[in-house]
Amino acid sequence: MDDEINKEEMLAFFDSNMPSGKQYDRALADKIFNIFDTDKSGKISVDEFIKTFIHIEEELKSHKTQIKAKYQAELDKVEDLKKKMNFYRSENLNSEGIAPSAKLTIEIANVEFIRFKQYSAIKIRLSFDDIIESTRPITNISQNIYWNQKFEFKVEKRTFLVFDIIDVEQDGEEFIIGSVQFDLDKIDKQEDYDVTLEIPDDESSKQSAISSKINCKITFIWSYFEYYQELYNKAERNSKSYKSLLDKNNSLLDNLNEPFKNVLFEDIYAMNEIAVRETKTTIKQEEEKNNNNNKSLDDIISFQTEKFLKDKLSKFKLIIKILKLDVNIKWVTFVKLLVLLILLIGLMNSVVYPSFIDVSYY
């Protein structure tokens, strides 16, 4: 028996089993063959062919599951965002294009001192449209001080946001040691902006010198309808992309298995009668064994479960029959039978048995 095949033989087998005389996808066939042909000899062994075929099919199925989950997540997101859009659809914008629900969010991450001095305590004060908020004072002073504190402001107009670095003395007296402004007109998208604000060094003779930096995240939502609409459009684009990937993956799986569909049905019809006979014998033996223990099979499982068990057992027996074949056959028949095994193993993997059924005899 010749245990090696070349590309022409593989393509001939693929083409001969395609429906309506179609040609097997040459690009996919080349990719498969090149993966199999690890030593680049132009030939692959039957064992290499089968093992790699199984690997490719399992990879595609795994990829399909992942894409399907992401696709469904984006579809769920689309539906959720559609509801939020409808909720804010009637919002009224003022002359500056700002809705009554507009919100400015600032998250202070840390301050980094370039010119470091020893202070009693440091805090950052935020001023926006006559509203003042402050971080908690930090007494453990170092060159980098961290807060990760978040603040929210209601917005009616675009104006300046003022950041002051405050030195809090032990007697409670406060001194501004640095100040910087941020103009909301700089924000043109309703998304998170990572901002580094540089505080000028008033004590330095150099005009460009800085004394410290404030690192923060600024988010300005001026219209929730527009905000959710942007997210909705993005989720729709993502869902279409995942749908395209899913269709492509399904097409690859179909192309991969197309030459073996006829083979599958031929071999099932040829071997199913033997498998069913052996299945009936096995079921009868199990019933006799249980009867000897004064416990019938019907006492253990319901009629539906018994039917399910018999059906799946027939599949197992069919596979065992294939595995036990030991005859002189050409490689094509060998491939046909093993591909049948591949497809049936895929079927087996979907089986979930009730926990009380002992399947050890399979």
Please list, residue by residue across 304-335, b when 16 or more beta carbons sit within 10 angstroms of its beta carbon and e when fewer do. Answer: eebebbeebbbbbbbbebbeeeeeeeebbebb
Query: Quick check: is 240 in a domain?
Result: no
Per-residue confidence at 106, pLDDT binned at 50, 70, 90? very high
108 and 214 co-located in one domain: yes
Query: Quick check: is 235 in a domain?
Result: no
119 and 166 co-located in one domain: yes
Query: Quick check: is 236 in a domain?
Result: no
Domain C-terminal end among 222, 240, 263? 222
Domain C-terminal end among 181, 204, 222? 222
125 and 214 co-located in one domain: yes
Query: Quick check: is 270 in a domain?
Result: yes
Query: Quick check: is 267 in a domain?
Result: yes
Query: Quick check: is 81 in a domain?
Result: no
Average pLDDT taken over every residue of the chain: 77
Per-residue confidence at 232, pLDDT binned at 50, 70, 90? very high
Query: Quick check: is 75 in a domain?
Result: no
pLDDT at 304 over 50: no
266 and 210 co-located in one domain: no
- pTM of the shown model: 0.61
**CA–CA dist 212, 124 (Å, integer):** 12
262 and 197 co-located in one domain: no
200 and 108 co-located in one domain: yes
| Residue-wise pLDDT tens digits, 238-277 | 999 999 999 988 887 877 766 655 554 454 445 455 555 5
Query: Quick check: is 247 in a domain?
Result: no
CATH number of the domain encompassing residue 125: 2.60.40.150
**Looking at the 3D structure of the chain, how many domains does it have?**
2
In which domain, by residue range, is 260 found?
4-68+253-349
Q: What percent of the chain has pLDDT over 90?
A: 45
| Residue-wise pLDDT tens digits, 14-62 | 787 777 777 888 887 887 788 777 778 888 876 766 677 777 778 888 9
Using alpha carbons, select from 247, 287, 227 the residue that is nearest to residue 105.
227
pLDDT of residue 332: 47
